[in-house]
Amino acid sequence: MLVVSDLWARYGNGDWILRGLSLSLKDGEVGLVIGDTGSGKTTLVKALAGVIHLTGGLAKGVIKVNDTELSGAEPRERSRLIGVLYQDPAIHFIYPRVDEDLELTAIENDVSVNAILNTAGLSNEVLGKLVTELSMGQLQRLAIAKLITRGVKVIIMDEPLAHLDQNAVELLVTLIRGIKRRGISILILEHRYEHVIGSVDKVLQLNDGKLSELSSLSGLTRRRYIIRSVSSNTDGGWLKLSNVWFKYDDSYVLRGINLSASSSRVIFIGPNGSGKSTLLKLILGVVKPSKGKVIVDHSHPMLYMPQDVNVVMSMTDTVEELYIELAKAAGRNASIEDLKRELKALEMHINTSDDPLHLSEGQKRILMLTMAKLLKPTLMIIDEPTSGLSSRYSFELAEFINQSNLRVIIATQDLHFASLIRDSDVFYVKGQEGYVAKVNVSEYVL
C-alpha cells in the first residue's frame, strides 16, 4: 500500500512543481497519472524514488509503503519497497550483457534466471545478447521482472508505453494484470493512456502540482485504428526500392522489399524490429543494401532527425550556435532573427541563448523541425517523431509537417500520429518476412 501526503518538490530555488500532492494506492491497485508534458510527472517519479537531489532538486512530504515511512530513508532502502521502471528500460541493465545482469540479480535475490524469465514471459533466447540487441518491450518486461524479484511492494512506471508497438503494449498490459494479482500496487504515468485504461482502478490528473482523481472516465478519449491495404502503383515515384535485402550480422532484417512512393510524405509503420529504421538508413545512404536497389530522387542537404534528438541537441552549447552550425553543415545561410521569428509564430518560448539540452522533449522536436523548415532540406527523414511526446505536442508536430512543403519520410509505430499526416503514402512493413503493403490508417474515437 502506498500513501503519499503533502508532497512538495522543486529544483534549485525555482517554483514548486509539486505543491502538496497526495495520493493513495491499496495493495494490487493500479493508478494512472495523466498530465501534459511539463506537468511534473517525471518530478513525481524522482521525488517518490528519493533521487531528486541528484538533479539539483528538493522534495518534502510524507511517503509511506505498508506503513513504513520513507522520508529520510536511503535510496537503496527505498528501492526494496518502491520499484521505479524508467522510461528507457535499458538503464536497468548496468552490465551490457543481459544474461550477466540477470544472473547477478538472480544470485542476489536467491532465485533462478529462469524464474526471472518466466515472470517476464520470455524464453532463454534473450540470454547471450547485449542490452542493445533486445527490443524495448523485451527490456521493459525483464526490468519489471527484476523489480518483482527484488520483492517491491509498489512499482512506478514512467511512460511505459512510450517506445512500444501494439504487440508489446498488449504483452505489457498482461504483465500489469499479473503484477496486480500478486498484490503489488502500480502507479503508471503515461500519455498514451487509452491502451491501459481498461486495466486501471483510478485515473489521477496531475495539474498545477496536485493530483485530482477523475470521477468519470467519459472525458478520456479511447481510440481504435484500422489498417486497410490499398492498391499500390509500383511505377514512377521519387522513392523506389527494388528487391532490397539487408542483414545485420548473420540475420536478414529486410528480405526482398519492393515499394514505390510518389507522395511527398511517406510513412513506414510496423512493429518493433520490423526494419523501419533500417529502411531510413538505406534511404539516407549510410548503409548499403546486401542486394537490390534504393533509388531516391534527392540531393544534399537532407536532414535526418533521430529518435533520440538529444544527440543533436548536445552538439553545441546554445540554440543559436546549433542552428548556425547545422546551417553551415548544410551549406545554407542562417539568420538567428528568422529562427526567433518562427519560434515566436509557433508560440514556443525558447530562449535561443539557452542550452538546447535544457529544453523539454517536445520543444526539442519542434525546434528541430523549425530549423528544418528554415534550412530547407531536399528531404527530411524522421525516426519515431512522437516517442515520449504528449498528444498535444504530437498533434502540433503533425500539423507542422502538414503545413510545411518539405518532402518527409517518417518511421513510426504511433498509428495516431500516422493518421494525422495528410496526403501521405503509408507502408506497413514486416521486413524479416519480406512483407510491405501500401495501407490506409483510419482512426476511430470510441
Among 117, 186, 296, 326, binds other proteins (CB under 8 A): 326
The nearest distance, CB 435 to other proteins, in angstroms, is: 26
Which run of H or of E encompasses 181? helix 166-181
In angstroms, the CA 48 to CA 73 distance is 11
- Binding of other proteins at residue 86 (CB under 8 A)? yes
- Only segment of 10-18, 93-101, 193-201, 435-443 that touches other proteins (CB under 8 A): 93-101
The secondary structure of 385-438 as a DSSP string is TTTT--HHHHHHHHHHHHHS---EEEE-S-HHHHHHS-SEEEEEEEGGGTEEEE
Cell 474515437 appears where?
Answer: 445
Three cell numbers written together for 110: 536467491
- Subset of residues 42 to 81 that bind other proteins, contact rule: CB under 8 A: 46, 49-51, 54-55, 75-76, 78-79
- Subset of residues 258 to 297 that bind other proteins, contact rule: CB under 8 A: 281, 284-286
Among 6, 60, 71, 96, binds other proteins (CB under 8 A): 96
Distances in whole angstroms, Cα of residue 98 to Cα of each of 143, 155, 221: 11, 21, 38
Q: 380 pairs with which residues across the strands?
A: 303, 408
- Binding of other proteins at residue 145 (CB under 8 A)? no
The nearest distance, CB 155 to other proteins, in angstroms, is: 13
- Only segment of 17-25, 130-138, 154-162, 416-424 that touches other proteins (CB under 8 A): 130-138
Residue type, 322: L
Residue type, 362: G
Among 329, 333, 392, 403, binds other proteins (CB under 8 A): 329
- Binding of other proteins at residue 346 (CB under 8 A)? no
Which run of H or of E encompasses 248? strand 239-248
In angstroms, the CA 28 to CA 38 distance is 28
The nearest distance, CB 436 to other proteins, in angstroms, is: 22
Residues contributing to the site for other proteins (CB under 8 A)? 46, 49-51, 54-55, 75-76, 78-79, 84, 86, 88, 90-97, 100-101, 103-105, 107-108, 128, 130-132, 281, 284-286, 300-308, 310-312, 314-316, 325-326, 328-331, 357, 377, 381
